[in-house]
Amino acid sequence: MISAEEALARLKAGNARFVSEIRGSDALTNQTRRRELAAGQAPFAIILGCSDSRVPAEIVFDQGLGDLFVIRVAGNIVAPSQIGSIEFAAARYGTRLVVVLGHSQCGAVLATVEELGRRSEEQSPNLRSIVDRIRPSVETLLGTELARDPQALVQHAVRANIRMSVNQLRHGSALLEQLTQDDRLLVVGAEYSLETGVVTFF
């Protein structure tokens, strides 16, 4: 399995190809590759991303079949099932890199900002469970000057939510925490720009 640093470099190079509209080799998705993967997989990165239809990880990182282990959920939140999925991939396949991939104008973050501005009793309990996981990262910003600028508030809240998810993965699982301490796993945050297609890692 490749190192976390090499995996990160591969994602950055793939995103640069995506932004430049230069696709990688079609060999990454052809029938030969599909048949090879029937025997097993060895994804080089785990992506916890938002379910937003405009941010498919394989496309924005220009990767093919078997390259990425992708978990998608609205707001790229961290819940037990997401942690378990990441634990599975890290332990089973030895994948060394986890990227929490958020994006600009995230609807789940916007819904959370709106919820904090006015309580919505009509919101379903299932949607509220997502909003409640994003809420702490947004609440910390409401006491700042950002509260006067809704657009800037959402922009900063998106990044705060990504950082919170990264922190939860680093410290919300004994297995992932141990792998991180042993330098066998790197967890990083990243933001995809809907406007430019660029992924910024931080």
Q: Is 156 annotated as a binding residue?
A: no
Q: CA 140, CA 178: separation in Å to the nearest integer?
A: 29
Instruction: Provide the β-strand partners of residue 191.
Output: 102, 200
Q: Is 62 annotated as a binding residue?
A: no
Q: Which amino acid is at 95?
A: T
Q: Looking up tokens 């809240």, which residue turns up?
A: 157
Exposed e or buried b per residue across 164-183, where buried means at least 16 C-beta atoms within 10 angstroms of its C-beta: bbbebbbeebeebeebbeee
Q: Is 183 annotated as a binding residue?
A: no
**Cβ neighbourhood burial of 187 (10 Å; 0-12, 13-18, 19+):** buried
Q: CA 154, CA 109: separation in Å to the nearest integer?
A: 7
Q: Is 106 annotated as a binding residue?
A: yes
3-state secondary structure of 117: helix
Terminal alpha carbon distance of the chain? 23
Binding residues are 50, 52, 103, 106
Binding residues for Zn(2+) are 50, 52, 103, 106
